[in-house]
Amino acid sequence: MTTKEIKLKRKFLAAKENLADKINEIAKEHGRTVFSIVNEALGAFIRANEWGKDLTTIIEDARILEIARNSGMVLMPEPLHERLMESASFDSKMKEYWRSSGVVFGKYLDLNGIKDLKKVERVLKEVVGVNPDISISSERLVCISPRLGEKRSEAVAVFLEGVMSSMGLEIASREVSKGIIVLKFKREGEP
């Protein structure tokens, strides 16, 4: 069968005018056809659906990973990280490294327009690892993860303090034990 004999079946889909115009603009910029871009997008939507996710979540997850990488974070196997943390000395210098890493990460969040506490909460759930249950309000942050060892809980707490301080929240009090972190805040300048 020759290329001329193969006929693609096509269907037309409706889209908002502004979206169709933007796709047309992108196609021209990249030397592609609207047809190829729409089919790529539809294919990605179908794959995401097969994974039980939506494209927005996948894009947000990719953005979180990019922000984490750009702020100096590395991905490492959890057992290795736990072993390194348990064998390392957790002195004041190490705490300062963790805190400053949190401050840097918080600034990267701000630069990327992630300021809303619920969005920060979602990002922290991804980067802290160990599948934590994290909730943040303007008064406190609670992080619970039974998989966090004692030293790692302390390290994560100090990191979270740095993130929150970069958002203008001072730590009023803290409770840290194996797998549980509770940070209570006050706004900078409050008594």
Domain ranges within the chain, ordered by starting residue = 17-50, 77-187
Tokens 């097969």 locate to: 50
Task: Report phi then psi at 177, rounded to 5.
Answer: -140, 175
Locus of tokens 């327009």: 113
Q: What is the pLDDT of residue 171?
A: 94
Residue 135 clears pLDDT 80, i.e. is over it: yes
| Mean pLDDT taken over the chain | 91
Q: What is the pLDDT of residues 71-117, one digit of tens each?
A: 999 888 988 888 888 888 889 999 999 999 999 999 999 999 999 99
Share of the chain above pLDDT 70, in %: 95
What's the pLDDT band for 3 if we cut at 50, 70, 90? low
Give the closest residue to 45 by CA, choosing from 37, 34, 33, 53: 53
Residue 170 main-chain phi, psi, to 5 deg: -90, 150
For residue 140, list its beta bridge partners. 184
Point out which residues pair with 133 in neighbouring strands. 144
Q: What share of the chain is helix, strand, coil (3-state, %, to 5)?
A: 55, 15, 30
- The β-bridge partners of 135 are 142
At residue 12, the pLDDT reads 86
pLDDT score of 179 more than 90? yes
Q: Rounded CA gap, 191 and 157, in Å? A: 22
Span 26-84, pLDDT tens digits: 999 999 999 999 999 999 999 999 999 999 999 999 999 999 999 999 888 988 888 88
Place of tokens 């115009």: 21
SS3 string of 125-188? Answer: HHHHCCCCEEEECCCEEEEECCCCCHHHHHHHHHHHHHHHHHCCEEEEEEEEECCEEEEEEEEC
